[in-house]
Structure 1
Amino acid sequence: METIAIILIISFVGLAALHLYWALGGKFGMSAALPEVDGTPVFTPGAAATIAVAFVLTGFALIALVLGFGAGYAAALTPYAVLLGFAVGGVLVLRAVGELKYVGFFKRVKGSKFAMYDSWLFSPFCLLAGGAFLLLAAGRI
């Protein structure tokens, strides 16, 4: 279980760092990160929203930390982490399925750079990470 937690922690800390980079004006990877229609992004998040996402992703990493290594100093947090682990796992699996238009395995808008990355990287990652959170949370019951 520790290995799964470490992989989740590294993944979500890395994603949080990437979002902070974008919030500070970085451009690398941005063209593949937003759904688009006819070359125009469906939405353009501001710096505050991007920083908020970075904090949420850091929270996911902390939940994985408590679920994977919840002994000792974090033992009191474990019951909350279990509930949050199930919630995060469910949200990530739902993200993988998608909202049926722009995002997820069942999206209808295809042909963009985002759609390709979403099909081959983002949605599979969300499905695997969601399953990993569910596994970690179930292992703490």
Structure 2
Amino acid sequence: MMISGISIFLLFYIGGLHVFWAFGGQWGSRVVIPATSGSGELTFKPGLIATLIVAILLFSAALLLAIQGRLLPALPSSPWIQWGCWLCVFVFGLRAIGDFKYVGLFKRVKQTSFATYDTFLFTPLCLWLCFTFYYTLFYS
């Protein structure tokens, strides 16, 4: 229950950060998008809608975890909730593996600020969330 609770908090916090960034917030925004090299040229520039969609998906993942982990007893788990949790296992697992160039365990571009944060924060967080969803599917 504590594992799920920590992950739910993290998902809501990160979702809140995305809402903050969507409406012009700058804190932390310089290191959350991969850069092509040390020059700082970003690989993409997310817009308002894309950033809000990511926030909604993170909030939804937190809700799935809360239901599957029985932290919201009024909402029983169902096959749809379990499928959603499996989807989260795969999404966070694939994010941890990465694209083999800019993000994940096997990235080749390692000399950027993003790469440093990805190595020590983003990828371990994705592995943690992947593990949490997997654990919750079998032990809740």
Q: TM over 0.5, yes or no?
A: yes
Give the Cα–Cα distance (whole angstroms) in 2 for the partners of residues 70 and 29 of structure 1: 30
Number of aligned residue pairs: give it. Answer: 138
- Unpaired segments of 5 or more residues in structure 2? none
Give the Cα–Cα distance (whole angstroms) in 1 for the partners of residues 81 and 8 of structure 2: 14
Name 2:105's counterpart in structure 1: 105
Name 1:61's counterpart in structure 2: 62
Give the TM-score taking structure 1 as reference length. 0.92
Conservation of the 8 A alpha-carbon contact between 2:102 and 2:108: yes
Conservation of the 8 A alpha-carbon contact between 1:66 and 1:78: no
Q: Superposition RMSD on alpha carbons, in Å?
A: 1.3
- Displacement of 1:47 in angstroms is 0.7
- Displacement of 1:15 in angstroms is 0.3
Moved over 2 A (4+): 70-73
- Is 1:4 the counterpart of 2:6? The answer is no
- Displacement of 1:71 in angstroms is 6.7
Q: Percent identity?
A: 35
Give the Cα–Cα distance (whole angstroms) in 1 for the partners of residues 86 and 20 of structure 2: 29
- Displacement of 1:60 in angstroms is 0.6
Q: Kindly tell me: are residues 78 and 4 of structure 1, through their superposed partners in 2, closer, same or farther at Cα, counting changes over 3 Å?
A: farther
Counterpart of 1:9 in structure 2: which amino acid? I
- Displacement of 1:78 in angstroms is 3.0
Q: Kindly tell me: are residues 17 and 115 of structure 1, through their superposed partners in 2, closer, same or farther at Cα, counting changes over 3 Å?
A: same
Give the TM-score taking structure 2 as reference length. 0.93
Name 1:31's counterpart in structure 2: 30
1:11-51, Cα deviation, whole Å (9 max, x unpaired): 00000000000001001100110000131110000011000
1:52-75, Cα deviation, whole Å (9 max, x unpaired): 100000001001110111674211
